[in-house]
Amino acid sequence: MAFRLAVLVSGSGSNLQALIDRLHGRVAGVEVALVISNVPGALALERAERADIPTAVFPLHEFPDREARDRAMAAAIETAGVDLVVLAGYMQLLTPAFLRRFPHRVINLHPALLPSFPGERAIADALEYGVKLTGVTVHFVDEGVDSGPVIRQEAIPVHEDDTAASLATRVHALEHRVLPRVVELFAKGKIHPPGPGSRVVRVDDSQPSEIDW
Ligand code: GAR
């Protein structure tokens, strides 16, 4: 059975590429059904087109406000019959109206160990703070900034001689492994959202990955 993804992107799309290379048409019925960007001309859109994946662009300035833009985006996602919405470098907040349409079906990738260093410059913030470990978080999206329940985290050391660029290289390499694995677990029904009043996500990671790394 197919497990269809909408992937939302704003930039280079290296994580989209990881999903295409590792999962799309290969593992657990995962198909990237639709790639959506708020940025016309984003490199991520080219990556989707090269893989024959439909794309759509919803720039904010073409709509009266964020809610109208998100309504149009949600309609496109519903039409595509999507099981999971993945934010992979999507740099805008989603409105509550959007999130209500996909309860526990929107996840975000963040390049730090949340709740430390939310926001858009997480890697530089972690380096400047002087933490000795940083990493990657995948979490459910709620109405706040990088604040939803954590699904998976993996850590790497910060080296004494790291620059923002060298640290970013290692964080991105980790992201390219963590995000496909989380989507694989979703597709296999191994991720259980928190119940009422809880933030705790249960993840059954007992079976080996089928991804050909
Ligand atoms: C990734 O590092 C992702 O974690 C980050 O944007 C980058 C996108 O890279 N997202 C955030 O900072 C969200 N707060 P990519 O376009 O090459 O996949």
Interval 21-34 mean pLDDT: 98
Is residue 85 one of the residues assigned to a domain? yes
Q: DSSP 3-state assignment of 39? A: coil
Whole-angstrom distance, CA of residue 32 vs CA of residue 14: 14
Percent of the chain with pLDDT over 90: 99
Residue nearest ligand 1's atom 17 by CA: 14
pLDDT at 9 over 90: yes
Interval 179-196 mean pLDDT: 98
Is residue 119 one of the residues assigned to a domain? no
Whole-angstrom distance, CA of residue 7 vs CA of residue 65: 22
Which is the closest atom of ligand 1 to the Cα of 15? Answer: 18
Q: pLDDT tens digit string along 110-133?
A: 999 999 999 999 999 999 999 999
Is residue 209 one of the residues assigned to a domain? no
Q: Given pLDDT bands bounded at 50, 70 and 90, which one contains residue 85?
A: very high
pLDDT at 152 over 90: yes
Interval 31-38 mean pLDDT: 98
pLDDT at 1 over 90: no
What global pTM score does this model have? 0.98
Is residue 73 one of the residues assigned to a domain? yes
Work out how many domains the chain is built from and give that number.
1
Residue nearest ligand 1's atom 1 by CA: 89
The domain that contains 61 carries what CATH number?
A: 3.40.50.170
What pLDDT is stored for residue 78 in this prediction? 98
Could you list the residue range(s) of the whole structural domain that residue 67 is in?
3-108+139-151+179-199
Is residue 113 one of the residues assigned to a domain? no
What pLDDT is stored for residue 52 in this prediction? 98
Catalytic residue (choose from 110, 139, 159, 172): 110
Whole-angstrom distance, CA of residue 182 vs CA of residue 17: 15
Is residue 160 one of the residues assigned to a domain? no
Q: 109 near 89, Cβ under 8 Å? A: yes
Is residue 207 one of the residues assigned to a domain? no
Token pair in block for residue 126? 């972690």
Is residue 212 one of the residues assigned to a domain? no
Indicate if ligand 1 lies below 6 Å from the C-beta of 46.
no
Q: pLDDT tens digit string along 51-79?
A: 999 999 999 999 999 999 999 999 999 99
Q: DSSP 3-state assignment of 76? A: helix
